Chains A and B, each alone.
Chain A
């Protein structure tokens, strides 16, 4: 008995060790230089945030879509830390390697503006912007406010408490833009995620929030929260959201989106860049892309390569006005 169980014990531990080892299997780099480029060997999709978050979902959706198109394995690797800074900083080390990609979003622009980090968006090669995630200004159903204008007026004459999900988050930026546009002040309470912000509004701790529609669809349907306006250029096409007016319809000229997309390392060749852009364009036609956009309630404004870079430049300029050191 003793002998048998000892063997069981040892194999148990060995199996545990082995599993842990394979769990973090590193990717193998197979950089092919020059001529018409096709990736050889495995490709790595870096996600600069933890597993299960918004970046992780987009990274894995892109990886799955590109895998079929490129005919190679694309391994998703979460390199979290420093609110995304660690992932982007380590991506600098992949300079010139076309077999590495990174699932990007607004942190790429916000981090260099607020922290001492060794990169800007110009350190990398932008490939594709998948779409835009706007926010809805939302209140509780028993709130006296009926429009975004009501909220602005209230904030002009008294205290309106707004929950924000982070120091450089989309809602923080949107509230600042409204303040700058209308010359008013919100009283902010900082939270750390969209879910916490929704809970704070449901619990009556705050008066107003500005959230991604994907985070409140269920609440809107149940009538437990009331949307006032979308801080977007145009209304959503989705049935459940199409009756929500934009802020500019209500006289507040504010619209700001968080983008999602993917980039390649800096200094890759023109052929390599073109290869990923072509693959990304094919990805836009797949059901995987459409499902991702629908599941996360994005506006599908795909942009590629240099156009994406131009977009980033403009976006960085807008952000600097809000977050500038």
Chain B
């Protein structure tokens, strides 16, 4: 173990590898900032440029882009309510509220600190336990994934803040949107009206950009909040109290993120949503959620970064990608003449340990880069809205076009922008709808698979211990608060309940 670490440090600390690691995290941050341009596309486009490099150097840079993008995606979520990546959607809920209150600096700083701590925790777990974790993750088949989806959806319904029925409505609407296109496992097209653009379904990136970015701008124009945020520089720096309050959330988020990130396919979006849901129920500060609670930024940001790192567990230990971006990275392995698979740790120790140690170094770089920049970025909100709004709209539309080089995506963004506007007018929550769109295809896939495995009998879900545990947890989340309320005779006093 110690030998491996030494080997890793001696590989990652060469001048060339340090330099490209820095380039990677910087490029990643910029890519994360762009709506539409995700780390998956960014890495795929940059792979040809790395062909002349040593494989380990190239992978260090590409991985830097991956986790760098997780930091970058936060910045726009907080400042202008435009998530750069799906994993940052939930950050907008409290991050943007903080920004409106002039606390954007604190939100960005806690995101950077949370991501850093999450990276360190998940790296330690990754280095010590990757192979056993990977083996355990293989036990998560369709049945177990279906249980996780159910848990995810139950968690999300509570996002609506006041109204559970609104949350339920919006999740359902999101799931309905996700049924457009060719059904998973079949070749029938649904709700496409003969339009080839709809065969692949309505992509969530366009939905996300439309609902959040364009919808928010239209809404702001309607309510006419013309005065830029006038915060003093002092308020832009995170306070010690905010930091200590966030710590428990950061730790919880890190572990939830790591566990979900290990599972092939589940991914960092679900991790960010789940950890937010957990905080919303169990945090001491839960009554402030949705109104600018710093824990609401700390926990999902820690979770998505931990999940990004944990994605490398199945990728390096089994040769099976944990998500879209790691799938592209695995493709790169082959181009560099490396054979991904269970023997990678044995055959390529220099590469594996060099790469893992570079994650640590890259995250230190990102923290050093992002902490001082947080107040600077936050100052962006001083730009008068007359200039800021057109820039947001332009970036959104260009970003949408760049997703698939297709005008259809641009029209989708415009349509969902209008939908987002009306949702805000009617006070309907947006995040549950987006998660419905993201989870819909995954839910349908595991549902179809579970049905096929059980030959139509869903009792198969109760034959797996893992599945039963997850479902029990979901049940607890659903009825737990209500039960606690029954036993306490003063259900109206929410502050009391948090100490139970």
Contact = CB atoms under 8 A, between A and B. Distances in A.
Q: Which of B138, B196, B401 has the most CB of A within 10 A?
A: B196
Contacts of A9: 376-377, 379-380, 382-383
Chain B interface secondary structure, helix, strand, loop or mixed?
A: helix
B500 interface: no
B187 A189 contact: no
Contacts of B294: none
Contacts of B167: none
Nearest to A88: B196
A21 B400 CA distance: 11
Interface in A63-118: 64, 77-83, 85-86, 89-90, 114-118
Nearest to B449: A189
B10 interface: no
B187 A167 contact: yes
B40 A2 contact: no
Contact of B264 (A78, A83, A195): A195
Given A187-B455, A195-B327, A86 B342 contact: no
A294 B214 CA distance: 47
A115 B182 contact: yes
A155 interface: no
Contacts of B344: 218
A184 to B, nearest CB: 17
Given A1-B233, A203-B138, A196 B264 contact: yes
A52 B448 CA distance: 27
Q: Which of B324, B391, B404 has the most CB of A within 10 A?
A: B404
Interface string A267-292: 00000000000000000000000000
A5 interface: yes
B453 A189 contact: yes
A141 interface: no
A28 to B, nearest CB: 14
Given A195-B320, A218-B343, A221-B341, A203 B199 contact: no
Count class of interface residues, chain A: 35 or more
A10 B340 CA distance: 43
A325 to B, nearest CB: 9
Given A9-B380, A189-B142, A199 B264 contact: yes
B141 A85 contact: no
A311 interface: no
Contacts, number: 203
A202 B138 contact: yes
A203 B449 contact: no
Nearest to B80: A13
Nearest to B340: A218
A323 B187 contact: yes
Nearest to A5: B379
B488 to A, nearest CB: 43
A221 B398 CA distance: 45
Contacts of B33: 16
Given A9-B382, A17-B391, A205-B141, A82 B197 contact: yes
A235 interface: no
A188 to B, nearest CB: 7
A192 B445 contact: yes
Contacts of A198: 320
A281 B498 CA distance: 72
Contact of B138 (A5, A199, A222): A199
A231 B353 CA distance: 38
Contacts of A196: 264-265
Interface stretch (B14-22, B43-51, B117-125, B473-481): B43-51
Interface string B327-361: 11011001101011111100000000000000000
15 contacts: A2-B382, A12-B380, A16-B34, A52-B331, A79-B405, A81-B200, A81-B404, A82-B198, A161-B453, A191-B445, A192-B445, A199-B318, A200-B142, A218-B341, A222-B343
The 9 tightest CB contacts between A and B, nearest first, are: A218-B341, A190-B185, A82-B199, A51-B44, A52-B328, A205-B141, A203-B138, A9-B380, A52-B44
Interface of A: 1-2, 5-6, 8-10, 12-13, 16-17, 19-21, 23-24, 26, 50-53, 56-57, 60, 64, 77-83, 85-86, 89-90, 114-118, 161, 166-168, 187-193, 195-196, 198-200, 202-205, 214, 217-219, 221-222, 224, 295-296, 323
Interface of B: 30, 33-34, 36-37, 40-41, 43-45, 48, 138-142, 181-182, 184-187, 189, 194, 196-200, 203, 233, 264-265, 314, 318-321, 324, 327-328, 330-331, 334-335, 337, 339-344, 375-377, 379-380, 382-383, 387, 391, 394-395, 398-399, 401-402, 404-406, 408, 445, 448-449, 452-453, 455
